[in-house]
Amino acid sequence: VDPHFIFNSLHSISALTTTDAAAARTMCLLLADFLRDTLRLGSSSRISFADEWSLAERFLAIEQVRLGSRLNVARDSDPHAADCPVPPLLLQPLVENAVIHGIAQLVEGGTIRMTSHREGPTLTVTVENPCDPDRVRTRGVGLGLELLRQRLTTEFGMYDAVRAEEQSGRFKVEVRIPVAASHTS
């Protein structure tokens, strides 16, 4: 979890205490639940995809309080993906990047689209967000995506498990990982 997220959340809570105490309280509770679940789930080598999805949704709920109507989320999760075992915090760098490098940089904000699909022995997760096509570009894939790629290469032996592309002002990351044979349907 990016420390800036925690600091931004705490600053937002502080600002909300004088303008919207109910929103500040909501954000405090969301942040506490998110951090508690991150610590609990992060200590496991594998968690259910349903738990991972839920953690990503908690993160986005906090950011929705902070960003308001600028952040929308469209979700489509395959029910067959729920029991798939995945490394914890698989989605975290994807949703953080979608907010930080996408939505937060756009005056009008936008919609993050999260999808999951299980097909046989493969779980595919996609996170897509709008981005400023005229922003200053960095070379290569960002650090969060590179660390995720390295982690999945180590765990599954698949360097191409993470694919990122940008087209027409949309940034899309697709993660494909194998599902253990004992969990296939």
SS3 of residue 140 by DSSP: coil
Give me 98's structure tokens. 């979608």
35: closest CA among 10, 70, 14, 15?
10
How far apart are the C-alpha atoms of 174 and 165, rounded to whole Å? Answer: 9
Q: Is the pLDDT of residue 80 over 80?
A: yes
Q: How many CB atoms lie within 10 A of CB 121?
A: 12
In this structure, of 8-12, 96-100, 136-140, 173-177, the range with the lowest mean pLDDT score is 136-140
CA distances (Å), 155 to each of 16, 132, 148, 178, in order? 42, 33, 10, 10
CA distances (Å), 8 to each of 2, 51, 71, 141, in order? 10, 24, 15, 24
Q: Is the pLDDT of residue 139 over 60?
A: no
Q: Three-state SS string across 79-132, please?
A: HHHCCCEECCCCCHHHHHHHHHHHHHHCCCCEEEEEEEEEECCEEEEEEEEECC
Q: Please enumerate in sequence order all residues whose Cβ is within 8 A of that of 156, keeping only pairs 6 or more positions apart, or say none.
A: 177, 178
Q: pTM for this structure? A: 0.83
Q: What is the pLDDT of residues 145-183, one digit of tens each?
A: 888 899 899 888 877 899 999 998 999 999 999 987 443
